């Protein structure tokens, strides 16, 4: 019997071989293919090409990538060691501009490198390895705690709707938006999950529907433009999505198509929840207007899933990877430190202060 997709680690380090192993998410669900990444270019491409994706998983990948970059530097001169780490950090950080976990993880790793000078280069590399492993372990616990808080908002038998993939494939375990679904499945809640297809890259169809069905969860796949009708029918009791960046005012950037879900949820009185690790909360960004939205290649819309091109040659294509859901459309933001309600400028600041106090 073959392995279930949930049996694989999304991101795994083989330290002795200096190899980062990821599940190639561009091949799912038809092929479970593991990629062995050994160079910084391969890691950068894996992030950019969405072979590894999801804000937490990107952060874990970046942390291990930073460690492997450090491991390659052969010098005993600590200042040279730091100087050579800086371009490696900047290079990895350029792969995806919107997901804040990428820069968050790299900054955290770089801070460890700067603070380890007294130990020497060899010991500093071991500190970086421990830090990268800690980031991954914290990701698992963070997702579990988000799941527990989210589950407190739900009742057995609820219909839930989710968008894109904020599942185990986007994290180290449980996922963010799906964590409550997995915990509920374990506890006999019998949720019915409606899963948006998520154009144009079909992360909902290829990834979320795949992993939820593999877990035995009752899941129904719908096209993105069916979500409002499903809500109007009364089949959805709550919408759970992940996000890639939360601004200080509560605006949240997530996969394109999230904003219309929030608008429809407001129209039909369905609670709309963002599941966000505090690592995705960017208190330096005042509002969603300041979030840089990545533009993807037009071929993802015109060619990718078709045997023949399905749009006229030379037609202009607008293909943003994300949209920003306005804070006033979000019922609550579920973090690992608790559920945050409006006004978000106050509640997010309070939760981040709580996080800072516990991190000391």
- Residue bearing tokens 């096209």: 223
Q: Are residues 189 and 153 in contact, defined by beta-carbon separation less than 8 angstroms?
A: no
179-186 helix and 121-151 helix, angle to the nearest 10 degrees = 60
Structure tokens at 339: 């559920």
**Active-site residue (options: 196, 244, 251, 323):** 244
CA–CA distance, 312 with 300 (Å, rounded to integer):
14
40-48 helix and 55-72 helix, angle to the nearest 10 degrees = 170
Alpha helices in 1-54 (DSSP H): 40-48
Give, for 34, the enclosing helix (H) or strand (E): strand 34-37
244 is catalytic: yes
Which strands form 238-241's sheet, in the order they lie side by side? 218-222, 192-196, 159-162, 238-241, 272-275, 332-335, 338-340
Which active-site residues does the annotation give?
Answer: 244
């Amino acid at each position: 019997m073959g392995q279930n997709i949930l049996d694989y680690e999304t991101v795994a380090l083989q330290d002795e071989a200096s190899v980062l192993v990821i599940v190639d998410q561009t091949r799912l669900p038809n092929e479970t293919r593991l990629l062995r990444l050994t160079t910084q270019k391969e890691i950068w491409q894996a992030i950019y090409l969405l072979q590894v994706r999801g804000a937490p998983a990107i952060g874990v990948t970046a942390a291990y990538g930073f460690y492997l970059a450090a491991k390659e530097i052969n010098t005993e001169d600590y200042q040279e060691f730091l100087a050579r780490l800086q371009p490696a950090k900047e290079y990895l950080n350029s792969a995806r501009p919107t997901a804040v976990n990428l820069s968050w993880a790299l900054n955290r790793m770089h801070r460890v490198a700067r603070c380890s000078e007294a130990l020497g280069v060899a010991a500093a590399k071991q500190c970086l390895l421990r830090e990268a492993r800690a980031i991954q372990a914290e990701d698992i616990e963070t997702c579990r705690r988000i799941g527990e808080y989210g589950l407190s908002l739900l009742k057995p038998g609820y219909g839930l709707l989710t968008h894109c993939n904020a599942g185990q494939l986007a994290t180290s375990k449980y996922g963010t938006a799906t964590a409550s679904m997995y915990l509920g499945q374990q506890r006999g809640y019998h949720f019915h999950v409606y899963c948006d297809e998520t154009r144009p890259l079909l992360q909902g169809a290829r990834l979320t529907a795949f992993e939820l069905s593999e877990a035995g969860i009752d899941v129904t796949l719908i096209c993105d433009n069916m979500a409002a009708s499903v809500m109007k029918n009364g089949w959805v009791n709550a919408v759970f999505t992940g996000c890639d960046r939360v601004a200080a005012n509560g605006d949240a950037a997530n996969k394109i198509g999230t904003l219309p879900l929030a608008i429809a949820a407001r129209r039909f009185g369905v609670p709309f929840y963002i599941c966000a690790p505090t690592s995705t909360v960017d208190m330096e960004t005042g509002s969603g207007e300041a979030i840089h939205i990545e533009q993807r290649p037009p071929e993802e819309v015109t060619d990718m899933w078709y045997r023949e091109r399905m749009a006229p040659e030379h037609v202009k294509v607008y293909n943003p990877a994300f949209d920003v859901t306005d804070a006033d459309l979000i019922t609550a933001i579920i973090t690992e430190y608790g559920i945050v309600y409006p006004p978000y400028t106050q509640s997010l600041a309070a939760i981040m202060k709580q996080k800072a106090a516990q991190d000391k």
